[in-house]
Protein backbone atom coordinates (compact mmCIF):
# COMPACT_ATOMS: atom_id res chain seq x y z
CA UNK A 1 0.00 0.00 0.00
CA UNK A 2 1.47 3.21 -1.18
CA UNK A 3 0.61 6.63 0.08
CA UNK A 4 1.10 9.65 -2.04
CA UNK A 5 1.77 12.54 0.20
CA UNK A 6 1.59 15.93 -1.37
CA UNK A 7 4.97 17.66 -1.61
CA UNK A 8 5.77 20.35 0.91
CA UNK A 9 5.95 23.93 -0.32
CA UNK A 10 9.53 25.18 -0.83
CA UNK A 11 9.44 27.48 2.19
CA UNK A 12 8.78 24.52 4.48
CA UNK A 13 12.01 22.80 3.51
CA UNK A 14 14.87 23.48 5.99
CA UNK A 15 17.55 22.85 3.35
CA UNK A 16 16.25 25.74 1.22
CA UNK A 17 16.58 28.12 4.17
CA UNK A 18 20.09 26.88 4.78
CA UNK A 19 20.99 27.70 1.16
CA UNK A 20 19.45 31.18 1.47
CA UNK A 21 21.11 31.94 4.83
CA UNK A 22 24.74 32.19 3.63
CA UNK A 23 24.25 34.60 0.69
CA UNK A 24 21.82 36.68 2.76
CA UNK A 25 24.40 36.98 5.55
CA UNK A 26 27.01 38.14 3.02
CA UNK A 27 24.65 40.80 1.62
CA UNK A 28 23.82 42.13 5.10
CA UNK A 29 27.51 42.21 6.08
CA UNK A 30 28.27 44.08 2.84
CA UNK A 31 25.71 46.78 3.66
CA UNK A 32 27.05 47.12 7.21
CA UNK A 33 30.59 47.50 5.84
CA UNK A 34 29.39 50.09 3.31
CA UNK A 35 27.67 52.04 6.10
CA UNK A 36 30.84 52.04 8.20
CA UNK A 37 32.94 53.15 5.24
CA UNK A 38 30.60 56.06 4.52
CA UNK A 39 30.18 57.31 8.10
CA UNK A 40 33.72 56.94 9.44
CA UNK A 41 36.46 59.48 8.80
CA UNK A 42 39.55 57.43 8.06
CA UNK A 43 41.67 60.32 6.81
CA UNK A 44 42.85 60.95 3.32
CA UNK A 45 45.77 59.29 1.61
CA UNK A 46 48.41 61.86 0.68
CA UNK A 47 48.54 62.42 -3.04
CA UNK A 48 51.88 64.20 -2.78
CA UNK A 49 53.68 61.41 -0.93
CA UNK A 50 56.99 62.10 -2.67
CA UNK A 51 57.16 65.69 -1.40
CA UNK A 52 56.11 64.50 2.07
CA UNK A 53 58.90 61.94 2.01
CA UNK A 54 61.44 64.65 1.28
CA UNK A 55 60.09 66.67 4.22
CA UNK A 56 61.26 63.95 6.62
CA UNK A 57 64.74 65.46 6.47
CA UNK A 58 63.30 68.81 7.57
CA UNK A 59 61.58 67.15 10.53
CA UNK A 60 64.84 65.48 11.55
CA UNK A 61 66.57 68.86 11.41
CA UNK A 62 63.91 70.30 13.77
CA UNK A 63 64.49 67.42 16.21
CA UNK A 64 68.25 67.96 16.05
CA UNK A 65 67.79 71.69 16.69
CA UNK A 66 65.71 70.93 19.80
CA UNK A 67 68.33 68.50 21.07
CA UNK A 68 71.15 71.00 20.44
CA UNK A 69 69.32 73.61 22.56
CA UNK A 70 68.63 71.10 25.33
CA UNK A 71 64.87 71.60 25.05
CA UNK A 72 62.50 69.48 27.11
CA UNK A 73 58.83 69.95 27.83
CA UNK A 74 56.03 68.68 29.98
CA UNK A 75 52.27 68.93 29.43
CA UNK A 76 50.10 68.61 32.55
CA UNK A 77 46.32 68.29 32.59
CA UNK A 78 44.83 70.26 35.51
CA UNK A 79 41.26 68.97 35.81
CA UNK A 80 40.46 71.19 38.78
CA UNK A 81 41.16 74.39 36.81
CA UNK A 82 40.16 72.91 33.42
CA UNK A 83 43.44 73.87 31.80
CA UNK A 84 46.64 72.55 30.29
CA UNK A 85 49.98 73.71 31.66
CA UNK A 86 53.01 73.43 29.43
CA UNK A 87 56.47 73.78 30.95
CA UNK A 88 59.40 74.22 28.61
CA UNK A 89 63.05 74.20 29.66
CA UNK A 90 66.24 74.85 27.71
CA UNK A 91 69.96 75.11 28.38
CA UNK A 92 69.80 78.82 27.56
CA UNK A 93 66.54 80.40 28.84
CA UNK A 94 66.68 83.11 26.17
CA UNK A 95 65.99 80.45 23.47
CA UNK A 96 62.46 79.83 24.80
CA UNK A 97 60.06 81.39 22.25
CA UNK A 98 57.17 83.79 22.91
CA UNK A 99 54.68 81.48 21.15
CA UNK A 100 54.59 77.73 20.63
CA UNK A 101 52.32 75.42 18.68
CA UNK A 102 50.83 72.46 20.57
CA UNK A 103 49.36 69.68 18.43
CA UNK A 104 47.34 66.68 19.55
CA UNK A 105 47.45 64.19 16.67
CA UNK A 106 45.24 61.11 16.94
CA UNK A 107 47.10 57.96 15.94
CA UNK A 108 44.39 56.66 13.59
CA UNK A 109 41.84 59.44 12.93
CA UNK A 110 43.32 62.63 11.53
CA UNK A 111 39.89 64.26 11.37
CA UNK A 112 39.89 64.88 15.14
CA UNK A 113 43.41 66.36 15.46
CA UNK A 114 43.73 69.56 17.51
CA UNK A 115 46.19 72.47 17.18
CA UNK A 116 46.70 75.31 19.67
CA UNK A 117 48.93 78.39 19.45
CA UNK A 118 50.03 79.33 22.97
CA UNK A 119 51.62 82.56 24.20
CA UNK A 120 54.28 82.43 26.90
CA UNK A 121 53.12 83.50 30.38
CA UNK A 122 56.47 83.45 32.14
CA UNK A 123 59.82 81.75 31.72
CA UNK A 124 58.96 78.51 29.99
CA UNK A 125 55.32 78.40 31.13
CA UNK A 126 52.41 78.25 28.69
CA UNK A 127 48.73 77.71 29.43
CA UNK A 128 45.69 76.61 27.42
CA UNK A 129 42.08 75.68 28.15
CA UNK A 130 41.53 71.99 28.74
CA UNK A 131 40.60 69.87 25.72
CA UNK A 132 38.11 67.06 25.41
CA UNK A 133 40.04 64.33 23.61
CA UNK A 134 38.55 61.12 22.25
CA UNK A 135 39.71 57.84 23.71
CA UNK A 136 42.77 56.30 22.15
CA UNK A 137 46.43 56.92 21.42
CA UNK A 138 47.49 60.52 20.71
CA UNK A 139 50.83 61.87 19.53
CA UNK A 140 51.63 65.24 21.07
CA UNK A 141 53.92 67.73 19.39
CA UNK A 142 55.20 71.01 20.82
CA UNK A 143 56.92 73.13 18.18
CA UNK A 144 58.28 76.51 17.25
CA UNK A 145 59.48 77.59 13.85
CA UNK A 146 62.76 75.66 13.84
CA UNK A 147 62.43 72.91 16.50
CA UNK A 148 59.93 70.40 17.85
CA UNK A 149 59.40 68.08 20.82
CA UNK A 150 57.20 64.99 20.75
CA UNK A 151 55.47 62.71 23.23
CA UNK A 152 52.72 60.14 23.49
CA UNK A 153 49.38 60.28 25.32
CA UNK A 154 46.79 57.61 26.07
CA UNK A 155 43.22 58.77 26.81
CA UNK A 156 41.90 57.95 29.32
CA UNK A 157 44.90 57.52 31.50
CA UNK A 158 47.83 59.89 31.29
CA UNK A 159 47.55 63.18 33.21
CA UNK A 160 50.97 64.43 32.14
CA UNK A 161 53.29 63.92 29.17
CA UNK A 162 57.04 64.38 28.87
CA UNK A 163 58.11 65.88 25.55
CA UNK A 164 61.56 65.30 24.07
CA UNK A 165 63.24 65.56 20.68
CA UNK A 166 62.49 62.51 18.53
CA UNK A 167 65.94 61.33 17.58
CA UNK A 168 66.76 57.81 16.38
Are residues 94 and 147 part of one domain?
yes
Domains held by the chain: number: 2
Domain span at residue 77? Answer: 57-163
Q: What is the CATH number of the domain that holds 104?
A: 2.60.40.3080
Q: Can you list the positions of beta strands (E) in 5-124?
A: 72-78, 83-89, 99-106, 114-122
Write out pLDDT tens, residues 19-34. 999 999 999 999 999 9
- Residue 11 has what DSSP assignment? G
Length of the chain: 168
Contacts of 141 (CB under 8 A, 6+ apart): 101, 102, 103, 105, 148, 149, 150, 151
For β-strands 160-163 and 114-122, DSSP reports them as unpaired
User: Could you tell me the pTM of the whole model?
Assistant: 0.61
Q: pLDDT for 116-159, tens place per residue?
A: 888 888 777 888 887 787 788 888 888 888 888 888 888 787 77
Amino acid sequence: MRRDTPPKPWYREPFVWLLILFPLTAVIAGFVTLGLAITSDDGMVEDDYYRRGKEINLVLARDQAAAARGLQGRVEFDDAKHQLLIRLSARAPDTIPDNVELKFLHATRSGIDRTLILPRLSDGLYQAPSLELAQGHWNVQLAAQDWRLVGSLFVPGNRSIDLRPSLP
